[in-house]
Structure 1
Amino acid sequence: MLHKTLQYWAHRLTRKGPIRLAMTLLVRNEIDIIEDNIRFHAAQGVDCFAVMDNGSTDGTRELLETLKSEFDLHVIDQPAQNYQQALWMTQLAEYARTALKADLVISNDADEFWLAAEGTTLKDHLHADDSVITLKRRNMVLTEECQQPGYHYSQAQYAVKNPILYSSDTQINDTAVSMLLVKISPKTIVNPHGLIKLKGGNHRAKHGWRWVNAREDSGITVYHYPIRNYAQFEANIINRQRLLRDTNARMGDHYRRWVKLYEQGLLEQEFGKFILSASDIETTSRIGLTEKCPAIVNAFERSLNRPV
């Protein structure tokens, strides 16, 4: 702990110039979203990327290689099949510190998009001496438009505003639950100088200086697109089923629920529960469960340079 505290202070006293912001990602078979993710966050002010590929077979690894010519992007191959997210993401943060010379690190997932408040960039809300910044994360919900030909996940307009606090047992066993409406954990931006480890799916961080200046920031929101279409959903759950064969695997209750339903042949029926009709949206918006979010749609249009 002392070593990490001294590391933080040494960096704080010697660094110069503007903040260098890095983003790290751990990916496997994210061909439909990884390029959008890189382009979106580069437009939001991220300077460099470290992406660990965990044995992708769908072209993700090859696509990342082509993106290296356009972005300051580093690809690290991790072929091990004993899923160790916390360890690997901590290693990526260390890589960002040493190889990328990052002042701050966003530990991201391919299906998450970090949007700064209108008229600002991510860096406008950050300070080089921050230790851990905690940010709100929101699920995007599916509406009937997702069943139309040519639909793209970036067209989703509604996010969960006030989630439902289902118990863990309910999330796993209650067939009536729509998992996109549940409360989800926040995310963190960390200073890699003084970082001890990332925990809980990148939702928490142990840092040598956290007890002094960790904070929350409402100027950045993380928009989460865990379900984009049925094919992507099914492929993800098949992969999670494989990972859960390791009895020591740590994974959210929602994945255990979905693997169970997949094994029962009920996954497509589960997917149908995610889709809200026009009347559903009217009701959930009226009672404050969901709300329309034009800012994220507009940000996609700007960063991807195409209408959505």
Structure 2
Amino acid sequence: MTLMVRDEADIIGSMIDHSLAQGVDTLIVTDNGSIDGTVEILESYGDRIVLRHDPVQRKQQHSVVTGMARDAATEFGADWVINADADEFWLPTAGGATLREVFEQLPTELRTFQVEVVDMTGAPALRGSGLQRLVYRDTRPVARLNELGIHSHSTPDAVHIGSPDIEVAQGNHFVNLEQNGEVPAGLGIEVLHFPWRSWEQFEGKVAKAGRAYEANPVLRPSPNHHGMREYHRWAAGALKAYYVIRHPDRDELEAGIRDGVFVEDTRIASAVPSVVADEPLDDDDVTASRRWGPVLAASEAQSIGEIRARDARIDELLHYVDEGKQRIDGLIEDVRILNERIGTLQRSAAMRPVRRLLRAGKRVVVRVTKR
């Protein structure tokens, strides 16, 4: 397993303990300049992990993870490689089995496959690891997520065989291998994801990620990139409202449990302790966020809709411009051909007197010759 981490002291120890208990042979961990105690936690594992340091903070995840994934194959002989994040807890979908038991049965001929990432939710909090608080699998429709300012559920991750030529895309969601066949029944794997553990953790993560993207002129995230959307909200002072409303209130949670939208899953809560105890948000903060958050999200959605409509109109106009350019190019070609014909005619007309003189001279020569 590879990990690139930065300031994840509230969860990194729990995640590593869980991964080792699941039978991961080797964890290659690169710390990205943490200052919150994450380095000390990593160092406490000694030779149970391979610890590296890359303090440059320009969102160079693609190159760093690719390097670790290649080393997993060339230095450690990995049959399979998981490129994980600190807030991801990897599990078999079949109860009772460990990751190691599943991977021992997976044919390497698969080469790679996608693993579903399930966002876990529950009540918001000011601080705390939240593993015993965030115990519901979030399966809300995407339309509902959009109402809350969330673009979509998390993208699946890519597992792959050990390869010295592997390329891991930014975000760990794709690799440069093609899947060969289907995962055998009963050998499924999934990820329980804890991205919004507390307001303290979430705000810090958003601010750091946004600044790191801004510091890297090569990376150009799309307008829908969740990190940059959150960063712009943070810069505008609106992020806390968005943080609160993405967690269901009591009524939505109860209704969602009845409808199967929120499904309780306590596998992590019952097996992995939270390092940082939960501390609730101020009631007034929660009340204000739940009142104004939906208004902000609706206003943002309207603005995004207007921008997309504008962009669609621009694309349509560009299409017309392109058609017009093609027509103009056709007319220019017609003019060129016409000019060539005119030139030919002009040259032909200029030669007429010469041809007349030649014909007249020929007649004179003929007459002289006959005489």
Q: Of the candidates 197, 200, 203, which is equivalent to residue 231 of structure 1?
A: 200
Aligned to 2:21: 43
> What corresponds to 1:11 in structure 2?
none
Give the Cα separation in 1 of the matches to 2:128 and 2:33: 28
Does the CA-based 8 Å contact 1:118-1:295 persist in structure 2?
no
CA contact (8 A) 2:128 2:197 kept: no
Q: Deviations over 1:247-301 (max 9, x none)?
A: 4325562211211111111112222212322211122233333211123323326
Aligned partner letter, 2:22: Q
Q: How does 1:209-228 map to 2 (within 5 A)?
A: 210-213=178-181, 215=183, 219-228=188-197
AA partner of residue 24 (structure 1): T
Structure 2 residues without counterparts, runs of 5 or longer: 279-371
Is the Cα–Cα contact under 8 Å of residues 157 and 292 in structure 1 kept in the other structure? yes
**How big is the shift at 1:201?**
0.8
Alignment match, 1:292: 264
Q: Secondary structure at the match of 2:131?
A: helix
Change over 3 Å in CA distance of 1:295–1:250 after alignment to 2? farther
For 1:273-292, list aligned pairs within 5 A.
Answer: 273-292=245-264
2:26 aligned partner, one-letter code = C
Q: TM-score normalised to the size of structure 1?
A: 0.78
* Residue identity in the other structure for 2:117: R
Q: How far apart are the structure 1 equivalents of 2:180 and 2:24?
A: 26
Q: In the alignment, is the contact (CA less than 8 A) between 1:41 and 1:114 conserved in 2?
A: yes
Q: Does the residue aligned with 2:83 lie in a helix, a strand or coil?
A: strand
Indicate whether 1:159 and 2:137 are aligned: yes
Query: 1:98-134 CA deviation, whole Å, 9 max, x = no partner?
Result: 2222111110000000012211011232225241121
- The match for 1:76 is 52
**TM-score, reference length from structure 2:** 0.65
Paired with 1:31 and 1:99, the residues of 2 have a C-alpha distance of 28
Supply the distance in 2 between the matched residues of 1:67 and 1:47 (Cα, whole angstroms).
14
Match of 1:185 among 149, 155, 176: 155
**Where do residues 54-203 of structure 1 align in structure 2 (5 Å cutoff)?**
54-69=32-47, 71=48, 73-116=49-92, 117-126=94-103, 127=106, 129=108, 130-143=110-123, 146=125, 152-155=129-132, 156-164=134-142, 176-179=147-150, 182-193=152-163, 195-203=165-173
The 1:214–1:198 alpha-carbon spacing in structure 2 relative to 1, beyond 3 Å, is farther
More helix, by proportion:
2
Q: Work out the CA distance in 1 between the residues paired with 2:165 and 2:140.
A: 31
Aligned mates of 1:68, 1:163 — CA distance in 2: 44
- Matched residues in 2 for 1:216 and 1:76: separation? 35
**Contact 2:5/2:29 (CA < 8 Å) preserved in 1?**
yes
The alignment-based identity, stated in percent, is 29
2: distance between equivalents of 1:110 and 1:192? 21
Sort the Cα spacing of 1:257 and 1:300 in 2 relative to 1 into closer, same or farther, 3 A.
same
Amino acid at match of 1:48: T
Which residue type is aligned with residue 204 of structure 1?
F
Greater relative contact order, per chain length (Cα 8 Å cut-off, separation 6+): 1
How far has the Cα of 1:151 moved from its partner? 5.4
Pairs aligned (count)? 268
CA contact (8 A) 1:137 1:187 kept: yes
Please identify the structure whose Cα radius of gyration is greater.
Answer: 2
What letter corresponds to residue 58 of structure 2 in structure 1? N
Give 3-state SS (helix, strand or coil) of 2:137's partner: strand
1:213-245 residue CA offsets vs partner (Å, 9 max, x unmatched): 464876222011001111111111110221131
Structure 2 counterpart of 1:233, one-letter code = F
CA-CA distance at 1:50 after TM superposition: 0.1
- By percentage of residues, which structure has more strand? 1
Contact kept? 1:44, 1:122, Cα under 8 Å? yes
The change in CA–CA distance for 1:211 and 1:198 in structure 2 (over 3 A counts) is same
